[in-house]
Amino acid sequence: MDFLNGLVVLANFVLIPATSYGAQLALGALGVTLIYGILRFSNFAHGDTMAFGTTITILLTWSFQSMGISFGPLPTALLALPFGILATGLLLVGTDRAVYRFYRRKKAAPVILVIVSVGVMFIMNGIVRFIIGVGDQNFADGERFIISARDFKEMTGLAEGFALRTTQVLTIVVAVIVVAVLFWFLNKTRTGKSMRAFSDNEDLALLSGINPERVVMVTWFIVAGLATVAGVLYGLDKSFKPFTYFQLLLPIFASAVVGGLGNPLGAIAGGFVVAFSEVTVTYAWKKVLTYWLPDSLAPDGLVQLMSTDYKFAVSFAILIIVLLFKPTGLFKGQSV
Amino acid sequence: MKKLLLASAATALLAGAASAEEIKIGIILGFTGPLESITPAMGAGAELAIAEVNAAGTLLGGATVTGIRGDDGCIDAGLATATAERLITGDGVNAIVGGDCSGVTGAMLQNVAMPNGIVMISPSATSPGLSHNNNEDNGLFFRTAPSDARQGVVITDILNDRGIKSVALTYTNNDYGKGLADAFQAAFEASGGTVTISAAHEDGKADYSAEVAALASAGGEILVVAGYVDQGGKGVIQASLDSGAFDTFYLPDGMYGDSLLAAIGDDLNGSFGALPGTDSDGATVYQGLASAAGFDGTSAFSAESYDAAALIMLAMQAAGSSASADFAAHVMDVANAPGEPILPGELAKAIEILAAGGDIDYIGATAVELIGPGESAGNYREYDVNGGAFVTAKYR
């Protein structure tokens, strides 16, 4: 019984939250890594792209709600999601035409494109705040819990509760579907193959008749999809506020770099590595250990490695350690 | 042209004859910044007291009082210092109502008010760090808000009365949260209670599950949330309820707000808290005066602002002088017994009594009683959350 109780506590406070957070980071990191692999620069505007996609989705969700359209027990935001992706895709392609294409044609060094993307970031930052404001926005609806802590206790008779929110399960399911579709697209379709060819060797790809403008456009649309899905899932699961999306940039980049920039598989692994380290390093293990260890060994203190204030420091630390010892990341990506 | 000159000269003479003196009071609050939603009603409260005294026209034998607003930004010490400097040296204010947040209030007091010898009465700075028990403030600083040290004791009393012996504590990571958390922890542990963990949370995050995980691991009968109602405090409560970590919460003054009821809903039932408040007649009278003047008198710290401005002017009358050096020593006298009790709207009567050499006990809108180094003794309204509403339990 003690073992089960400990396991429930662990799942409730560590495993489930870290897995859904990891899935959100992985989707974000996939977008960053695709841009790095194919367009060859680190896109600092990614966090704000997520915020923009979420903003459009939120506005549509509200109008759907006011029209009385709902998605049963699932959040209405899922219905609005495709439109959000479309709008974000148009914005990104528009930005590419207006800004990035100019530098690409000049064969500008990647570092210049990075700085350009910082400029784009500030502009998107402003657009998002201009549209929806700086405050918290709540747009989750539908069933909140699949199983609530109280119900779980009554059902199982355990001393500890276990809550599973709809949005947590939704995050994981949607992330799995999106990743599966993305990999199928990259590996099996003609366009996907031409994108990988473009990423591996630009000149060779051009020689074999691949249209670079088309590859770039498809890339932006996929990135828009990934960013909007990641942003909406994060907003549903936690809450939407433009500034927190800007802050997400750090763990997302940490995930992409840890996994190996330009490597989609690495981005996913990186997302989970960062999420699990953030949660486990700042978790106070007292309760779990009290259940699992014999009484004589039960801890008096909190057994917390680091205060939760230092959550972001964990992403920084992982980033630095990986860059020092394995610049290409855990999976073989390009070195930064 | 000649006529015009003559006319303006005559007007100037007339004006000079009509008012014996022109008194200026600076109203320095965070009209921009994190408290910008409540400072308009605070400023209006102070100006209401000034308007009342002007309408009577009897202060110091016919002086007129002007309120001059200034912005301290609530968290911008540089801006606050510059504003105070400008009001004191430029506009020549005789006293200051302000500032609103503890950090900037301390900065203005140290950098400007003390070197210039100007009295400051803050309506809302509650940090225990501003209690100048050894006269570090040269007797110039007062506040109509209680110190959070007092709130720590009140929370302890409430928890003891309800038989709660072990709590987890989380606070917003700033002067207010840290000061309140430390004051409460000291008082609660002295009374024999246990604080299992005292952990900070940052405002403005999307996700507080990690913070709640640590709090849940430490355990405790209830969770004390010394945060802000529209910020991290709400997030911590939501995450605690979602994960089943805590069901019952203690809500200090920063966590009182209808937005919390709207956001959390029925799950909040059974939680309880306290905020500065009084059942004295003054509060009701003040709310009537405020609605007549066209603003919301129940807004946080609006009544305290009225009292701060009123105390300044009554102390001037008691001292027979508008100079800070003269009236600073009289603030405590007019605020406390003995004397004729004075409610809001009775400032004219108070001035009359003082002018005749009598003594007053200013009750005001918040049942003002200044203790120790010149801060409000603090009356608290204890409430329960019941049926989706705040229900007053009793006054302490």
- Specify the pLDDT at position B8: 57
The A-side interface with B (CB below 8 A) comprises: 9, 12-14, 17, 21, 136, 138, 148-150, 152-153, 161-163, 165, 234-235, 237-241, 243-244, 278-279, 282-288, 302, 304, 307-309, 311
Q: Give every CB contact of residue A38 below 8 A, 6+ residues apart in sequence.
A: A195, A198, A199, A215, A216, A219
User: Any idea what DSSP says for residue B88?
Assistant: I
Q: pLDDT category, B2, cuts 50, 70, 90?
A: low
Amino acid sitting at position B8: S
> What one-letter code names the amino acid at A192?
G
Which domain, by its residues, includes A219?
A: 2-325
Percent of chain B with pLDDT over 90: 56
Chain B: give the shortest CA distance to residue A302, in Å.
6
Mean pLDDT of chain B: 88
A85-89, A145-149, B153-157, B164-168: range with lowest mean pLDDT = A145-149
* Mean pLDDT for the stretch of residues B224-232: 85
Is residue A334 included in any domain, yes or no?
no
Element (H, E) at B201: strand B194-201
Which residue in chain A is spatially nearest to B170 when comparing CA positions? A308
Report d(CA A252, CA A247) in Å as an integer. Answer: 9
* A contacts of B199 (beta carbons < 8 Å): 307-308
Residues contacting residue A196 through CB under 8 Å, at least 6 positions apart: A186
Look up the CATH number of the domain holding residue A239: 1.10.3470
Q: Order of strands across the sheet with B64-71?
A: B64-71, B22-29, B95-98, B119-122, B141-146, B375-376, B370-371
Peptide bond into B364 cis (omega under 30): no
**What total number of domains does chain A contain?**
1
Burial readout A285-324 (b: 16 or more C-beta within 10 A, e: otherwise): bbbbebbbeeeeeeeeebebeeebeebeebbeebbeebbe
Give the model's pLDDT for residue B14: 47
- What torsion do the CA atoms of A194, A199, A204, A205 make, to the nearest 10 degrees? 20
Residue B66 φ then ψ, to 5°: -120, 135
- Residue B58's pLDDT band, with cuts at 50, 70 and 90, is very high
B160 C-beta neighbours (distance < 10 Å), count: 14
Q: Write down the pLDDT at residue A315.
A: 84
* Distance of alpha carbon A37 from alpha carbon A222, whole angstroms: 13
pLDDT tens digit string along B328-343? 999 999 999 889 999 9
pTM to 2 decimals?
0.78
Q: Are B40 and B31 in contact (CB under 8 A)?
A: yes
Contact between residue B331 and residue B142 where contact means Cβ atoms under 8 Å apart:
yes
What pLDDT does B191 receive? 93
C-alpha dihedral (A192, A196, A202, A206), degrees to nearest 10: -30
Q: State whether A279 and B218 contact (CB < 8 Å).
A: no
Domain boundaries, chain B: 21-146+280-376, 149-277+379-395
Kindly provide the residue ranges of all beta strands, DSSP E only, lying in chain A, ordered along the sequence. 145-147, 164-165
For residues B128-141, average pLDDT: 87
Residues 6+ apart with CB under 8 A from B159: B167, B188, B193, B222, B250
Residue B290 in tokens: 């405020």
Condensed to tens digits (0 to 9), the pLDDT of residues B306-325 reads 999 999 999 999 999 999 99
Mutate to test the interface with A, among B198, B243, B247 (most CBs of A within 10 A): B243
Asked if pLDDT for residue B12 goes beyond 60, the answer is no
What's the pLDDT score for residue B223? 95
> Which residues of B fall within a CB distance of 8 Å from A9?
216-217
Identify residues of B whose CB sits under 8 angstroms from chain A CBs. 173, 197, 199-202, 204-207, 209-214, 216-219, 230, 235, 242-245, 263
Q: Is residue A136 part of a domain?
A: yes
Query: Could you tell me which chain A residue has the CA closest to the CA of B244?
Result: A149
In whole angstroms, give the CA distance from residue A305 to residue A13. 16
Nearest to B214 among A148, A240, A308 (CB): A308
Amino acid at B160: N
Q: Cis ω on the peptide bond leading into residue A212 (within 30° of 0)?
A: no
Q: What is the largest CA-CA distance in chain A?
A: 72
Residue A335 in any domain: the answer is no
CA distance B324 to B312: 9
Strand-pair partners of A39? none
Shortest distance, CA A248 to any CA of chain B (angstroms): 10
Measured on CA atoms in the order B102, B106, B109, B114, is the torsion positive or negative?
positive
Chain B: residue whose CA lies nearest to A281: B210
pLDDT at B13 over 80: no
Q: Please report, as a single letter, which amino acid is at residue A308.
A: T
A225 in Cβ contact with A34 (< 8 Å) = no
Minimal-distance CA residue of chain B relative to A245 = B206
Chain A nearest CA to B149, separation (Å): 25
Put simply, the answer to whether B216 touches A13 (Cβ < 8 Å) is yes
Strands A164-165 and A145-147: antiparallel
Q: Fold match between B21-146+280-376 and B149-277+379-395? A: yes
For the domain with range B149-277+379-395, which CATH number is right: 3.10.20.600, 3.30.1330.20, 3.40.50.2300, 1.10.10.10? Answer: 3.40.50.2300
**Whole-number Å distance between alpha carbons of B121 and B105:** 10
Give me the DSSP letters along B239-301.
Answer: HHHHHTS-S-EEE-GGG--HHHHHHHGGGGTT-EEEEE---SHHHHHHHHHHHHHTS-TTSTT
Q: Which residue of B has its CA nearest to A241?
A: B206
What pLDDT, on a 0 to 100 scale, did the predictor assign at position B108? 95
Q: How open is the CA angle B139-B305-A135, to the nearest 5 degrees? A: 120
Hey, is B194 helix, strand or coil? Answer: strand
Tell me the two tokens of residue B330.
């009289």
Q: Do B243 and A149 touch (CB under 8 A)?
A: yes
- For residues B312 and B119, the answer to whether their CB atoms sit within 8 Å is yes
| DSSP string over B46-87 | HHHHHHHHHHHT-GGGT-EEEEEEEE-TTT-HHHHHHHHHII
Please report, in tens digits, the pLDDT of each residue of chain A (336 residues total). Answer: 788 888 999 999 999 999 999 999 999 999 999 999 998 899 999 999 999 999 999 999 999 999 988 888 889 999 999 999 999 999 999 999 999 999 999 989 989 999 999 999 999 999 999 999 887 888 888 888 888 888 888 888 888 889 999 999 999 999 999 999 999 999 999 999 999 898 888 888 889 888 989 999 999 999 999 999 999 999 998 889 888 899 899 899 999 999 988 888 999 999 999 999 988 888 888 888 888 888 888 888 888 888 888 888 888 888 888 889 888 888 876 654
Q: Which two tokens stand for residue A165?
A: 């929110």
Whether ipTM tops 0.90, in short, is no
| Amino acid letter, A18 | A
Annotate A48-61 with DSSP letters as a single string.
Answer: HHHHHHHHHHHHHH
Considering only CB atoms, which chain B residues are within 8 Å of A275? none
- Closest to B100 measured CA to CA, from B130, B124, B66, B70: B124
Q: CA torsion angle for B148, B154, B155, B156 (degrees, to 10)?
A: 120
Look at A302 and B217 and tell me if their CB atoms are within 8 Å.
yes
Residues in contact with A111: Cβ distance below 8 Å, sequence separation at least 6, in sequence order: none
| Superfamily (CATH) of domain B21-146+280-376 | Response regulator (3.40.50.2300)
Does residue B68 contact residue B24 with C-beta atoms inside 8 Å? yes
Best of B37, B207, B229, B231 to disrupt the A interface (most A CBs within 10 Å) is B207
CA-nearest of A86, A21, A69, A13 to A255 is A21
Measure the CA–CA gap between A147 and A83, rounded to whole angstroms: 31
B207: nearest CA in chain A?
A: A238
